[in-house]
């Protein structure tokens, strides 16, 4: 029997640790590509040691794989762009190994954001990874998302903890930036739905929830749902970089995650096209429902 094998990079990350069991529950033959397979404990799922910065580990890991989900990206709390260089090398290594292993498809989850000189390093790097993966002979589907709402997601944890711990928030201009958040379960629905629709092969698609909100609206809605009265005081001169300092102090989101995310808040992240909704017609989760699911730790 020639059963298709589906590999998931970043299987221990926020998206990966939810995608792997979702695929397995649908009867898929799943291979988790992780750095420490001995510590990976999902029953029925093969774990392979993989480090994208060590090309020698990729050949064996991708052997026999039909479709690979690429869910890896670096973060850095530093001001330099070393994380972008790591992302670039990792993507190039993975693409070369996938071509050599004759992988048929790659599905990459990247980030929303208009391409331009003002794009944050984090969002610019994720866009570059998509271009690299689509530059080879393996047909690569790119899905681009903004904030993903789900328990343990870095963006959600920042929202929740800021509301929980700060009665008064001193905020910069980016509070009025528009964003199109999406529920974790909808992201999983799109990732899996792409497997069923050949029309998605090799394409790039924006994915988002049904609501477009400013960060102010998101914070106040979360506060209302937590039954907390919160006051927001905007200060025009407060930059995203300065904002990252008080996020470090107030939340337990690691600086390596929080700082590049805060830097990206200056960029509007909304879907510019909605073709994926016709190809993969899943019911989209409204913001309030997505928040409630995140509080409960449900998908």
Q: Hey, is 73 helix, strand or coil?
A: coil
* Segment 243-254, tens digit of pLDDT: 666 677 777 776
* Segment 37-73, tens digit of pLDDT: 999 989 899 999 999 999 999 999 999 999 999 999 8
Q: Does 242 fall in a domain?
A: no
Q: Does 216 fall in a domain?
A: no
Q: Which pLDDT value is given to residue 232?
A: 86
Q: Domain of 46: which CATH number?
A: 3.40.50.720
Q: Does 26 fall in a domain?
A: yes
Q: Which pLDDT value is given to residue 79?
A: 45
Could you tell me the two tokens for 113? 């954001």
Is pLDDT above 50 for 111? yes
Q: Does 106 fall in a domain?
A: yes
Q: Could you give the number of structural domains in the chain? A: 1
Is pLDDT above 60 for 184? yes
Q: Does 299 fall in a domain?
A: no
122 Cβ contact partners less than 8 Å away, ≥ 6 residues apart? 75, 83, 111, 260, 261, 263, 264
Q: Does 292 fall in a domain?
A: no
Is pLDDT above 70 for 77? no
Higher pLDDT, 242 or 201: 201
* Segment 207-243, tens digit of pLDDT: 999 999 999 999 999 999 999 999 888 776 655 566 6
Q: Does 244 fall in a domain?
A: no
Note whether 35 and 98 are within 8 A (CB): no
Q: Does 131 fall in a domain?
A: yes
Range of the domain at 111: 5-148+182-207+271-283
């Amino acid at each position: 029997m020639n059963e298709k094998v589906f590999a998931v990079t970043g299987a221990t990350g926020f998206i990966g640790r939810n995608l792997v069991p979702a695929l397995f529950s649908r009867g898929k033959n799943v291979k988790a590509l992780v750095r420490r397979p001995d510590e990976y404990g999902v029953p029925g799922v093969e774990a392979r040691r993989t480090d994208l910065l060590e090309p020698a580990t990729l050949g064996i890991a991708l052997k026999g794989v039909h479709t690979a989900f690429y869910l890896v990206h670096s973060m850095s709390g530093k001001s330099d762009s070393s994380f972008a260089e790591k992302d670039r090398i990792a993507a190039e290594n993975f693409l070369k190994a996938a071509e050599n292993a004759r992988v048929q498809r790659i599905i990459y989850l990247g980030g929303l954001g208009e391409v331009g000189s003002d794009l944050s390093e984090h969002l610019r790097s994720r866009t570059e990874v998509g271009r690299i993966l689509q530059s080879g002979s393996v047909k690569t589907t790119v899905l681009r998302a903004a904030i993903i709402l789900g328990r343990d997601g870095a963006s959600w944890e920042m929202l929740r903890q800021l509301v929980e711990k700060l009665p008064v928030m001193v905020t910069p201009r980016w509070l009025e930036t528009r964003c199109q958040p999406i529920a974790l379960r909808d992201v999983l629905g799109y990732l899996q739905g792409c497997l069923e629709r050949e029309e998605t092969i090799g394409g790039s698609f924006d994915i988002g929830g049904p609501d477009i909100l400013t960060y102010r609206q998101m914070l106040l809605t979360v506060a209302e749902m937590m039954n907390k009265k919160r006051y927001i005081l905007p200060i025009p001169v407060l930059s995203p970089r300065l904002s990252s300092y008080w996020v470090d102090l107030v939340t337990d989101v690691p600086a390596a995650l929080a700082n590049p995310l805060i830097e990206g808040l200056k960029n509007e992240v909304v879907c510019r096209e909605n073709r994926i909704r016709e190809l993969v017609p899943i019911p989209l989760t409204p913001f309030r429902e997505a928040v409630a699911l995140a509080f409960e730790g449900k998908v």
